[in-house]
Amino acid sequence: MAATKINIAPVENKYIKLIMSVEDMDKEKLVDLGDSFLLKMNKKSKSGNELYFSVLFAKKMMNKPSRTSNPSIAITKNKNLITVTLTIMQELESIQESEGFYWIKTENAASPAFEFSYKMNESYYDKKVTQVLAETAQPENTD
């Protein structure tokens, strides 16, 4: 059974860094398109957070080191199990708020092409972003 992990954190009080990892996924979950694979995921947690992710990548990208660009994606294979790791860095202002939820959305047309959307409930966003920003805020010197 594949495990999906999402780690989200503010960086330098200006950016948001999101790391999504799908570990030990059965290779049969990939759609074989000849020289490429397609992976689509749509998950909803009990807390209401929703993840939509699709990626189209060339088979030759399997087990290649990921580029250190933004966004970056790594796809590794161990026997018949696949691990996909996506790292995205966006400006905090790019997060959209709507009806008590926060959205991180991005698309990438380069290789590998992917679409990513993550919808967080307000309490999760406050715990992972707002509280961390408040804790790291530097008090002003009033001397």
The model's confidence at residue 34, banded by pLDDT at 50, 70 and 90, is: very high
Residue range 108-141, pLDDT digits in tens: 887 788 999 999 999 999 999 999 988 887 665 5
Kindly list the strands in the beta sheet with 31-32, ordered across the sheet, starting from the edge strand earlier in the chain. 31-32, 36-44, 50-58, 113-121, 101-108, 96-98
Residue range 66-81, pLDDT digits in tens: 666 888 888 888 888 9
pLDDT at 40 over 80: yes
Contact by Cβ (8 Å): 52, 117: yes
- With tokens 């049969």, the residue in question is 28
Which of the residue ranges 42-46, 55-59, 61-65, 129-133 would you say has the lowest mean pLDDT?
Answer: 61-65
pTM over 0.85: no
